[in-house]
Amino acid sequence: MTDREKEILKIISENPLISQQELANILNIKRSSVAVHIANLMKKGIIKGKGYILNNEDIVVIGGSNIDIQGFSKENLIQRDSNPGEIKLSVGGVGRNIAENLSLLGVKVNLISAVGDDIYGRKILKELQISNLSTENILVTDKYSTSTYLSILNNDGDMNVAISSMDIFNEITIDFLRKKTGLIGISKCIVLDTNLPKESIDYIVNYYKTKDIFIDTVSTTKALKIKDIIGKFHTIKPNKYEAEILSGIKIKSNKDLDRVADFFLNKGVKNIIITLGKDGVYYKNMDTSGHIKSPQINVINATGAGDAFMAALIYGKHKGFSLKDIVIFSIASSLITMMDENTVNRNMSINNINKLIEEMRIC
């Protein structure tokens, strides 16, 4: 979208019945110019028709895009030694992975992220285009290099240790996000990951407080960025350790899971889903709660499973699934991801997820 189209879209989002002449008066341009911009917005599918009904089916994901460099050990890892294995490079990033998984599930999605003006950044942009994701809202800068995530996985496919270099996401500032007001304002929901600067997260949850906002906590350290805004978002999916840090409650039993969930719900969160690794997933909202065990599979790569889970969670929520069915659908999605060596399994689809649910009798 052009800057002028974004201006018009912001005004329309606040007043869908505004006339073209009123728009012209506000923007100090000719009515005929407004008509041209409106026509272009309709061609792009952003405006549906008369009355300026906005096409708000899209989901906006704001978060990290990076290059994943993964080392796969062939045998048990020996610390402080060279281990035989394989090293692979792929495109990743929590926000980017969630966006691609949503796209594979047939959801219209816009990704807002940042990459460096370097070979890795160009690779990410190319991969987004291959995945039919727009690069229009990706900030390209030479101030920082593209975010890189280096991880070592053991012979079971689980991460042993990782190092992330993600300073570039400091460029996703409030000023940058304000330029995306038109896009974010008409979205069906917003997905954030905590790779973003804290002030940018705070801005989104406060400025778009009428939207359903989903938070991916990413890690125990980065999860602390949202500790003082719990209740200003709709759904959160922490793992056990992130849930403990955010709630201040140690999880040693099922009763503790209930206590942690109630902490979030009492703050105003609508859905709390706690992933427990091999012990499955605990979920709760004001109407229901439960604990679903995860089937045992041969894990090839666990990296990206949480991102697939989040994408499926969002899909299920906006298709009107019950919370239990959302969690079942999301578990199957994460299992499909773990069966592939890449952080996003291109075989992800609604049919394959439903087939796996039946085969493994996830319930």
Residue 67 has a CB neighbour count (10 Å cut-off) of 25
In terms of residues, how long is the chain?
363
CATH code for the domain of 40: 1.10.10.10
- Residue 51 is predicted with a pLDDT of 63
- Pairing verdict, β 159-165 and 189-193: unpaired
- Pairing verdict, β 271-275 and 53-54: unpaired
- Pairing verdict, β 212-216 and 189-193: parallel
Distance of alpha carbon 352 from its chain centroid, rounded? 21
- pLDDT single digits (tens) 246-264: 999 999 999 999 999 999 9
- pLDDT single digits (tens) 196-214: 999 999 999 999 998 999 9
Return the structure tokens found at 45: 């599918």
116 shares its domain with 250: yes
Residue 318 in any domain: the answer is: yes
Query: Token pair 């995530």 is at which residue?
Result: 149
- Residue 301 is predicted with a pLDDT of 84
- Residue 281, pLDDT > 70, answer yes
Residue 181 in any domain: the answer is: yes
212 shares its domain with 185: yes
Residue 319 has a CB neighbour count (10 Å cut-off) of 13
Q: How many distinct structural domains can be found in the chain?
A: 2
E-assigned strand segments in the chain = 47-49, 53-54, 59-62, 66-73, 85-92, 109-116, 138-141, 148-153, 159-165, 189-193, 212-216, 235-236, 271-275, 281-284, 289-292
For residue 57, what are the CA distances in angstroms to 21, 46, 110, 133? 28, 10, 11, 15
49 shares its domain with 123: no
pLDDT band at 181 (very low <50, low <70, confident <90, very high): confident
- pLDDT single digits (tens) 137-180: 999 999 999 999 898 988 887 888 888 899 999 999 999 999 88
Name the burial class of residue 299, with classes exposed (0-12), middle (13-18) and buried (19+) by CB atoms within 10 angstroms of its CB: middle
- Residue 55 is predicted with a pLDDT of 57
Distance of alpha carbon 268 from its chain centroid, rounded? 21
- Of residues 346 and 158, more confidently modeled: 346
285 shares its domain with 336: yes
| DSSP-derived secondary structure for 263-318 | HHHHHT-SEEEEE-GGG-EEEE-SS-EEEEPPPP---S--TTHHHHHHHHHHHHHH
210 shares its domain with 263: yes
- Residue 329 is predicted with a pLDDT of 97
pLDDT band at 58 (very low <50, low <70, confident <90, very high): confident
* φ/ψ of residue 349, rounded to 5: -160, 160
31 shares its domain with 172: no
- Residue 52 is predicted with a pLDDT of 65
pLDDT average, residue stretch 69-73: 89
92: which strand partners? 66
Among 38-52, 67-81, 87-101, whose mean pLDDT is lowest? 38-52
pLDDT average, residue stretch 341-360: 93
Q: Range of 38's domain?
A: 3-54
CATH code for the domain of 198: 3.40.1190.20
- Residue 362 is predicted with a pLDDT of 87
For residue 185, what are the CA distances in angstroms to 10, 41, 179, 343? 7, 15, 11, 30
In whole angstroms, what is the distance from residue 150 CA to residue 162 CA? 5
196 shares its domain with 290: yes
Residue 77 in any domain: the answer is: no
- Residue 185 is predicted with a pLDDT of 84
139 shares its domain with 32: no
pLDDT band at 279 (very low <50, low <70, confident <90, very high): very high
The pairs formed by 236-239 with CB atoms below 8 angstroms and a separation of 24 or more are: 236/264, 236/269, 236/271, 236/272, 236/273, 237/273, 237/274, 237/275, 237/306, 237/309, 237/310, 237/313, 238/274, 238/275, 239/274, 239/275, 239/276, 239/277, 239/306
Residue 81 in any domain: the answer is: no
Name the burial class of residue 242, with classes exposed (0-12), middle (13-18) and buried (19+) by CB atoms within 10 angstroms of its CB: buried
- Of residues 159 and 328, more confidently modeled: 328
Among 75-89, 107-121, 280-294, whose mean pLDDT is lowest? 75-89
Q: How many helices (H) and strands (E) does the chain have?
A: 14, 15
- Residue 49 is predicted with a pLDDT of 62
pLDDT average, residue stretch 70-82: 90
47 shares its domain with 112: no
- Residue 129 is predicted with a pLDDT of 93
What mean pLDDT value characterizes the chain?
92
